[in-house]
Amino acid sequence: MPAMKPTVYVETMIVSYLTARPSRDIVTLAHQHITREWWRSAARRFALVTSEFVRVEAAVDASSVARAPLEALAQLATIEPTAEAEALAERLFNAGAIPRRASQAGLHVAIAATNKVAYLVTWNLRHLASVPARSAIERTCRRAGYPLTICTPAELSETQGRTSCDDPIVAEVRAVRERLFAKHGGTVAGLFKHYREIQETSKRTYVSYPPTRTLPDRHEAAAPADEGKE
């Protein structure tokens, strides 16, 4: 029996990048290219789903340019909004994980999470996929009992690893690391000893910060009250 494909919620920005005319902005153009490359193999690797929220957003503009996203969405399964999704959206807003002015983004997250979707793929780098936003959203969802991973098409790309390996700049840095590792005994201890020796003779000022701990998730077992006592 073949393994089930991971589910991916396709958010509105994905189909917009997929179907829009090539941009003159180099960053936007790169995102368009990555999205189209990901889309070519996405249906083979993932179970793609969307929602009525995405369809409504894609249909707001009645022009021929806006009909293309709807054509892309036609092949995707549609998951439904539930009372649980509404409650999770409110929790995301109340926790400050998503600002209320970006309420539509919160609805996408909530419906994906409460339908047990594995990934929400988006180019919304302001409210969803930036590192701070993603961490806060995923933590809030997880504490509510709905694990969800937010990512960009680049992070779900089939060629991500191969592209990195074939990059000559990356290959050069890796070669330097391997030479340094071998030079100092091929051990972590050897490398740390070398860098401590550099630090002792350097005139630079070094700083350190105490480790931080995030609040435990709801599913993590609480430590016994007498833990650590003799």
Tell me the one-letter amino acid at 207. V
Two tokens at 227?
């833990």
Low-confidence winner among 44-53, 68-77, 80-89 (lowest mean pLDDT) = 68-77
50, β-bridge pairs: 78
Mean pLDDT, range 12-38, rounded to an integer:
92
Counting Cβ atoms within 10 Å, is residue 9 exposed (0-12), middle (13-18) or buried (19+)? buried
> What is the pLDDT at residue 215?
54
User: Does the pLDDT of residue 198 top 70, yes or no?
Assistant: yes
What ranges do the domains of the chain cover?
7-151, 167-201
Phi, psi (degrees; rounded to nearest 5) at 21: -65, 150
Q: Rounded to 5 degrees, what are φ and ψ at 206?
A: -105, 145
What's the mean per-residue pLDDT of the chain? 84
Amino acid letter for position 47: A
Q: Which helix (H) or strand (E) holds 48?
A: strand 47-51
Select 7-151's CATH number: 3.20.20.140, 3.40.50.1010, 3.40.50.200, 3.30.70.20: 3.40.50.1010
Give how far the C-alpha of residue 20 lies from the chain's centroid of Cα atoms, to the nearest Å.
Answer: 23
Q: Are 129 and 122 in contact (CB under 8 A)?
A: yes
| Angle of helix 103-114 versus helix 83-94 axis, rounded to 10 | 130
Q: H-type helices in 122-216, by residue range?
A: 131-143, 160-166, 168-183, 188-201
In the chain, pLDDT over 70 holds for what percent of residues?
82
The per-residue b/e assignment along 120-153, b for 16 or more CB within 10 angstroms, e otherwise, is bbbbbeebbbeeebbebbbebbeebebebbbbbb
Provide the β-strand partners of residue 120.
9, 150
* pLDDT band, residue 223 (cuts 50/70/90): very low
Residues 6+ apart with CB under 8 A from 9: 49, 50, 51, 79, 108, 111, 112, 115, 117, 119, 120, 121
pLDDT tens digit string along 125-141? 999 999 999 999 999 99
